[in-house]
Amino acid sequence: MRIDPKAKQPFAITLKDQSMFAFAGLWESWKDKATSERLYTYTIVTTHPNEVVAHLHNRMPVILSPKDYDRFLAPVDLAHLPVDLLRPFPADVMTAWKVSKAVGNVKNDDPSLNAPI
């Protein structure tokens, strides 16, 4: 979330029950024509924000429910793409809180970074 044009306030966002969750993502393996090197590229699929995220950003990662993992990971069937999974995750099971701006520095790596401020 932007505090002013130069400063941002970081937030931790998770499920209320603190359980792990998975983002929808895509990957591709391809050969760089210039170097012949095998490259792997990745992206996280995004969607419109839910009520928890909307005041922080104009989009959010697609979070998959465990019941949808197999379906999302199944081989592509062009007649039955899982586009219904590309929706905002239910806000009522999520939470967010402000965290220290120290989160933005890769030199910082300890559990206190997740502490509410």
What pLDDT does 81 receive? 87
Label residue 97 by pLDDT band (50, 70, 90): very high
CA angle 47, 51, 56 (to 5 degrees): 75
69 lies in a domain?
A: yes
10, part of any domain: yes
User: What domain range includes position 8?
Assistant: 1-80
Three-state secondary structure call for residue 79? helix
State phi, psi for 80 to the nearest 5 degrees.
-140, 55
- Examine residue 28 and state whether it is found in any structural domain, yes or no: yes
Residue 88 falls inside a structural domain: no
Query: Number of folded domains in the chain?
Result: 1
Residue 94 lies in a domain: no
Please report the pLDDT score of residue 80 as a whole number.
Answer: 85
In a domain, 40, yes or no: yes
* pLDDT, tens digit (0-9, with 9 covering 90-100), for 23-48: 999 999 999 999 999 999 999 999 99
In a domain, 97, yes or no: no
The predicted structure's pLDDT at residue 9: 94
22 φ, ψ (degrees, to nearest 5):
-120, 140
Give the per-residue pLDDT at 2.
Answer: 63
101 within domain boundaries? no
